Amino acid sequence: MSETVKKFFYVNRKAPYGTIFAQEALEVVLIGAAFDQDVSLGFLDDGVYQLVKGQDTKDLGVKNFSPTFRALGDYDVTKLFVEKESLDERGLSADDLDEIMYEDEDDDWAEKPSIRIVSRAEMADIMADQDVVLSF
Amino acid sequence: MNYQLDGQEVPADEEGYITNLSDWSKDLAEVIAKEEGIEMDDERWEVVNFLRDYYDEYQIAPAVRVLIKAIKKTMGPEKGNNKYMYELFPYGPAKQACKIAGLPKPTGCV
């Protein structure tokens, strides 16, 4: 394992489909996670739509990558910060989001939620605390 | 590098991952395994089937570290470890098993 673990933060600001940003971001997250770094994700602006449950991409003819968010826990990516103001502005609440859980290996595989709703001010603090911030 | 099955050509990329996921069958898996120098047995099928289920559920082929951890969780530590998995698939459990399972190259595999 690498000696220096850096804090990587991936900012997701775009809707899941229509552009390739969201899917590519997730791909980059998974690749980065393989290098044992401290990875967390932020969802703000239209990015919050990425986590809305019940996505159906059949008519778009593209892969529905929503299920892949649920694999993040296996990659030790367990911090998905969602900005409350962005949800509010779009008439969404925590109940509209997919349930994304991770299993805590150190706690007898207990299931814990990965999604944390934070305020805009908290999101700014989280960003300020990172070594690397990548925006998609 | 394409595979031959029952006189049919099955397209694959230069590393041997099949192009169309829907082309996969158990017979094709045997053909790919032979190409990899692997004889399929119950233990290897268990891993290949596990990967296909994982892909069904999450839409990704997991990286090797993730695969081994997931196997450890569902099948226990005697199977979910590097030694066991590399004995079954000497050239990389995720890479080789994914190829045989007809999945894309594992995500996070560089």
Mean per-residue pLDDT for A20-32?
Answer: 91
Q: Do residues A99 and A113 make contact, with C-beta atoms less than 8 angstroms apart?
A: yes
The domain segmentation of chain A, as residue ranges, is 7-135
* B75 CB within 8 Å of a chain A CB: no
Q: Give residue A24's pLDDT.
A: 92
Closest residue on chain B to A32 (Cα): B108
Average pLDDT over residues B46-67: 92
Q: Collect all residues of chain A within an 8 Å Cβ-Cβ radius of residue B73.
A: 103, 109
pLDDT at residue A39 is higher than 90: yes
pLDDT surpassing 60 at residue B110 = no
Q: What average pLDDT score do residues B56-71 get?
A: 89
How confident is residue B102, by pLDDT bands cut at 50, 70 and 90?
very high
| B8: enclosing H helix or E strand | strand B8-10
Interatomic CA distance for residues A52 and A90, integer angstroms: 11
Q: Give the CATH number of domain B3-100; options: 1.10.1040.10, 1.10.10.370, 3.30.56.10, 3.40.50.970.
A: 1.10.10.370
Q: Does B57 touch chain A (CB under 8 A)?
A: yes
A67–B57 C-beta distance less than 8 A:
yes
- CATH number of the A7-135 domain: 3.40.1260.10
**Average pLDDT value over all residues in chain A:** 92
Supply A33's token pair: 């996670």
State the pLDDT at residue A32.
82
B28 pLDDT above the threshold of 80: yes
- Output the pLDDT for position B108: 59
pLDDT of B85 over the 90 cut: yes
B73 reaches A (C-beta below 8 A)? yes
pLDDT at residue number B71: 92
Residue B49 · residue B43 · CB < 8 Å: no
Q: Over range A27-48, report the average pLDDT.
A: 90
Is residue B66 very low, low, confident or very high in pLDDT (cuts 50, 70, 90)?
confident
pLDDT level of residue B12 (50, 70, 90 thresholds): very high
Q: How far apart are CA B102 and CA B23, in angstroms?
A: 8
Mean pLDDT of B93-97: 89
Structure tokens belonging to residue B71:
């196997």
CA distances from B37 to A112, B12, B30, B33 (A): 42, 17, 10, 6
- pTM for the full predicted model: 0.85
Helix (H) or strand (E) holding B3: strand B3-5
Strands B3-5 and A132-135: unpaired
Check B57 against A70: CB less than 8 A apart. yes
Q: What span, in angstroms and rounded, lies between the C-alpha atoms of B46 and B11?
A: 25
- pLDDT at residue B67 is higher than 60: yes
Give the C-alpha separation, B38 to B4, whole Å: 17
- Note whether A37 contacts B: Cβ–Cβ < 8 A: no
Tell me which residue of A71, A4, A43 sits closest to A136, measured CA to CA: A43
For chain B, report the end-to-end CA distance as a whole number of angstroms: 20
Q: Does the interface predicted TM-score (ipTM) exceed 0.85?
A: no
Q: Residues A61-106: pLDDT tens digits? A: 888 999 999 999 988 999 999 999 999 999 999 999 999 999 887 8
Categorize the per-residue pLDDT at A3 as very low, low, confident or very high, splitting at 50, 70 and 90. low
Dihedral angle of Cα B99, B100, B106, B109, to the nearest 10 degrees: -60
Query: How far, in Å, CA of A85 to CA of B10, rounded?
Result: 50
Q: Which residue, B44, B71, B59, B70, is CA-closest to B107?
A: B59
Closest CA to A39 of A84, A74, A3: A74
Q: What is the pLDDT of residue A94?
A: 95
Span B68-80, average pLDDT: 90
Q: What is the dihedral of CA A53, A82, A50, B19, to 10 degrees?
A: -110
